[in-house]
A and B are shown apart, each in its own frame.
Chain A
Amino acid sequence: MKRILGCAVVVLFLGATPLLARSFEVNEFDKGKTLYKNKCQFCHGIRGDGKGPAAEPLLGHPVDFTDSKFWQDDVEKKINVEKKIEDTIKKGKEMMPAFDLAPDEIKAIISYMSHTFKKATQSNN
């Protein structure tokens, strides 16, 4: 009986893990979406194409996340794209100011951007 119960617990745990992971992913995605909307969208745009309402008044163009080149790792500097985004958010770049975001918030934004804009570039290709 104990063995059956133990197996049931293990099965339930194994079964629940993907669901929990998916739930976490969804939560992170939603969190990232909200953060993107509040922090990034004004310049980078709802579609991530660098054409937000504030893009035109800025004399330089905000980065286009729907460009597949953006998602390429910097081989020369040995920096992957996630690290590049993280550094830009933390330190700012050119006109973009540095943002006071927690590591989990930055991770959430990257998650949202990857799932939304990176996937869009892949499907376009």
Chain B
Amino acid sequence: MIGKKLIKVFFLFIVLALLQLLPLDTAYAVPSFARQTGMPCNECHTIFPELTPFGRIFKLGGYVLSKSSKPYEFPPPLAGMVQVSYTDSKGLTSGVAPFDSNNRATDRINLPQQLSLFYGGRIYDKIGAFVQGTYDGVSNKIFLDITDIRYSNNAIVWDKNLIYGLTLNNSPTSQDVWNTTPAWGFPFASSGVSSTPAAGAIIDGALDQQVGGIGAYVYWNNLIYQEGTVYRTARNGITKPLGAGTTTEQVVDGAVPYWRLALEQRWKNHFFTIGTYGMQADIFPSGNRSGPTDRFTDIAFDAQYQYMGTIDPEHMQEHMQMDGEHMAKAGKHIITAHATWIHEDQDWKASFPFGNTANASDFLNTFRMNLNYYYRSHVGDIGGSIAYFSTTGKTDNLLYSPDSVGGSRTGSPNSDGFIFEADYLPWQKTKIALQYTVYNKFNGAHSNYDGFGRNASDNNTLYALVWLMF
């Protein structure tokens, strides 16, 4: 049995190694976008998937920027991704997911953690898409992952540039271009099998692939970004395809408005952004599809600082010769800092009368900040990140009740800790990451947080990841 597993593991490694040898691109990390634009991946990414200022514009431009004169791309802009990971945390099992059918959700080795196929690029003329189909090795399921289909155009308004467009997407904040909002926020990848805190705001990933929505946005003078999107459930109706392969556990009632406002200002090679975003969702209590709903109102603020380094003309020549391609005109040293604070009001209009919560209303405050430093060296890109995260809220003994590992002895949702990460990209399409998550408090307490003797530090997680794009 073990022998068969090893053969499968060995076979997969060979396949991954061969994928790296495919002459699809010499220096591109997101091949379909890179093939389409003729630009290297680090034009749009500091270290993928974090976006550079130009990457943000490319996304707002509808993914349609192309070196070809045809209104469509042929062959279609397809790309792939494989994530292979190892997780070490107390209580995990020694099997290999997905081959170990009994303990997939707790297996240390995920081979793959995720396997994705992308349609990334122009569909026709000014319509483009980022569509990700994913096989998840932990859940052993195939589903439509993040999907963002756009129409974009530009004009001059009040003597300044205006980018305007429409977005059709299935995960609130996935359409956003700053890496401060939840869908594309730090950490950019994390373990699929480690324990995570019980409490989280609705806008913080709970509605991913649970809804589908269409929105409009404008970005004026590289300064002001405004967006409004309306979502509805992906359980049925016209938005159902956007939740393909995912069980709709969070069924929203009616329309869910999402809003976003951001201001970006550049000073030399420094880019500063402040913004706000939020949504209001009426959600049926778990298991219900009709009747009363709970109301969640999320209001968030975010800020980003990005230093893109400087490069003199001599180094520019050196960079161009190094790859034989047009290297991004970023410096060798890149710094990015993100922060976001999300406040959520939870009005248990349905759950409280049903006896599912102890309070008629609760709240959550989520705060995250991280600092990333990247160095573009001759032997690849090297990066390091440090992050702090915190969730606090009102104690609710029914919502957060004692349970082994995932529960709370105190009824408090409070958790906080740090994440340390080191990244190395030997090639632009390969990322090797080592991440360590340290919990100071987990589900309300430092020690015996679950009422079953488990301490917050028992959830400290070492996570090693190999992330390949091809």
Contact = CB atoms under 8 A, between A and B. Distances in A.
A and B: interacting chains = yes
Interface of A: 35, 38-39, 41-42, 45-47, 51-54, 56-60, 92, 94-102, 105
13 contacts: A39-B69, A42-B61, A47-B156, A53-B154, A54-B54, A54-B58, A56-B53, A95-B43, A97-B39, A98-B38, A99-B38, A100-B69, A101-B69
B38 A57 contact: no
Contacts of A105: 69
Contact of A54 (B61, B69, B162, B310): B61
B267 to A, nearest CB: 11
A99 B53 contact: no
Given A97-B37, A101-B69, A105-B69, A57 B52 contact: yes
Contact of A96 (B125, B163, B219, B326): B326
B38 A97 contact: yes
B92 to A, nearest CB: 42
Given A59-B329, A100-B69, A45 B161 contact: yes
A47 B266 CA distance: 22
A100 B67 contact: yes
B94 interface: no
Contacts of A39: 66-67, 69
A29 to B, nearest CB: 16
Given A54-B65, A57-B53, A98-B67, 10 more contacts: A39-B69, A42-B57, A46-B161, A51-B161, A53-B154, A53-B163, A56-B222, A94-B326, A97-B39, A105-B69
Given A52-B161, A98-B38, A57 B69 contact: no
Interface residues of B, number: 38
Interface of B: 37-39, 43, 52-54, 56-58, 60-61, 65-69, 125, 154-156, 161-163, 219, 222, 266, 269, 271, 308, 310-311, 316, 320, 326, 328-330
Given A94-B316, A101-B69, A53 B39 contact: no
A53 B54 CA distance: 10
Contact of B61 (A35, A53, A99, A101): A53
Contacts of A54: 54, 57-58, 61, 65
A94 B56 CA distance: 20
Contacts of A94: 316, 320, 326, 329
A52 B60 CA distance: 13
Nearest to A39: B69
B322 to A, nearest CB: 14
3 closest residue pairs by CB, A with B: A97-B38, A57-B53, A53-B161
B328 A100 contact: no
A99 B43 CA distance: 16
Contact of A46 (B156, B310, B330): B156
Contact of B67 (A46, A59, A97, A102): A97
